[in-house]
Amino acid sequence: MDRVLYHRPLIGDIPLGEFTELQHRIDDRMRFVLGEYQLTPEYTAAYDLERGELFDRVDSLIGDTPLIHVENVGESTILAKVESQNPTENHYDRVFPRTIQKLEADGLIVPGDELLEITSGSGGRAFAWAARVLGYEARLVVPPELPKARLQDMLNFGATLDVSEPGYMKEASKAYVDQIAKLEGQGYEVTKHKTADYTVFVGRKEGERSVCLVNHSANELTVQGFEGIGEEIYQQMPPFEDVDYIVSVMGNGTSTTALSRAMRQHYPGVKVIGVEDERSPRYFVEKHPGEYERRFGHAPEFTQHDMFGSSAPDVPLKYGKVEVVDEVRLVNLDERNEAQDGYNQHRKSFEQIGNSSAASLVVARKLASENPGSNIVIVFYDKAGQYGDQLTLAPMSKFHYDRCRPEGVPVHGWMQARMGSLALLPRSISEAYRARTIVPKSID
């Protein structure tokens, strides 16, 4: 298969009907926080703002995502940290703006440079958006197995996509590493920059813009960004209530590592439960040797699955360590789809959960049944619209987020700290706990 280069269409050049709903929601948020702006080759999101002010305003859009009550199972409570309420509707918004700011402050990159990354979808959306808003060119190496819905927003946010040979993340990783040799072959001097926070490669050539391989899956900056998820959970939990279980889908290990660090600091007794698709149990077989064969009667085959970003075998991962979890649980396609369909049935599109979130919900329900009276927190990393080849396009008339704004959320409350944790609540956490009629845990 020949490699395919997707030439990016700039946001300003796309007919309005081809915008996705995600783009319009971000557009409305950005105009409130950043003011009127253009995204063109000549004027790349400079906004006439001082650089520090631009970073501050972008940062104000990120984090403070809601912690919502999902359901009670007997005397157990399942809560969800809704990371899909970040600007590009995934947790990687916590990573790339702060990474760009750090690399810029350290003198490794300047606006106008090209930033290069590898992605299976969610991170790529956040990367393309952050790079464009902050004045950089984004190039992403992606595997050809991704659905079109995952590629559309990357393209519309301004990225160029370099599609690897078939073979999912294993082949995409090879293609990403090959970029170093490719740059050197083009006359760039490529240097490695390693600190306690990151390891990146920068290619420089006189008369050309520099190229930086950001390498998010191997950087401490990524883990530090995700630690904010755990810190916010601690701040949002009802007083005197512990978190007994935190459930995390295991991908490159950065978010699970971060949750393990942050949650264990505040809840020493918490159990960290990893989640994987039954078809590709990379972490499960390492954490529980022989258990897969005992349970299924054969060795795992590591086949392709549609929980993109999780459990890619044969890909070296700095943070892919099973030591950070107490247990790994497997979820099969049928039970995940059943949970997803049931949860999404009466919810609007912007509230519906994707495959990874549904898998976490399956595991949380099992934990709740097995451990009565426990508090279980899962992470809603994704939304349903990112998994198909049919694009979810906005209507021809401009899509305003106010049309689907949850009741009680201020019209201009896009700094999510102002929204509080009621943004998507079917009922408040305090009401959920009153429904349980349990005595709050006391302080020793």
Domain that holds residue 347: 64-85+221-436
Angstrom distance (rounded) from CA 427 to CA 430: 8
Q: Convert the pLDDT of each residue in 1-30 to its tens digit.
A: 333 333 333 333 334 345 566 666 666 556
Regarding whether 81 and 36 lie in a shared domain, the answer is no
Regarding whether 293 and 145 lie in a shared domain, the answer is no
Residue 366 lies inside a defined structural domain of this protein: yes
The type of residue at 23 is Q
Sign of CA dihedral 83, 269, 254, 227: positive
Regarding whether 278 and 195 lie in a shared domain, the answer is no
Residue 410 pLDDT exceeds 50: no
Q: Convert the pLDDT of each residue in 227-254 to its tens digit.
A: 999 999 999 998 889 999 999 999 999 9
Q: Convert the pLDDT of each residue in 389-407 to its tens digit.
A: 655 554 433 333 333 333 3
- Tell me the angle at which helices 220-236 and 96-105 cross, rounded to the nearest 10 degrees: 130
Residue 121 lies inside a defined structural domain of this protein: yes
Regarding whether 213 and 228 lie in a shared domain, the answer is no
φ/ψ bin of 278: left (φ > 0), alpha (ψ from -120 to 50), beta (otherwise): alpha
| Domain count along the chain | 2
Regarding whether 11 and 148 lie in a shared domain, the answer is yes
Nearest CA to 381 among 27, 1, 92? 92
Regarding whether 239 and 113 lie in a shared domain, the answer is no
Regarding whether 261 and 113 lie in a shared domain, the answer is no
Residue 444 lies inside a defined structural domain of this protein: no
Give the model's pLDDT for residue 371.
97
Regarding whether 324 and 416 lie in a shared domain, the answer is yes
Regarding whether 122 and 74 lie in a shared domain, the answer is no
* pLDDT band at 435; cut points 50, 70, 90: very low
Query: Of 218, 240, 274, which marks where a domain is finished?
Result: 218
pTM for this one?
A: 0.83
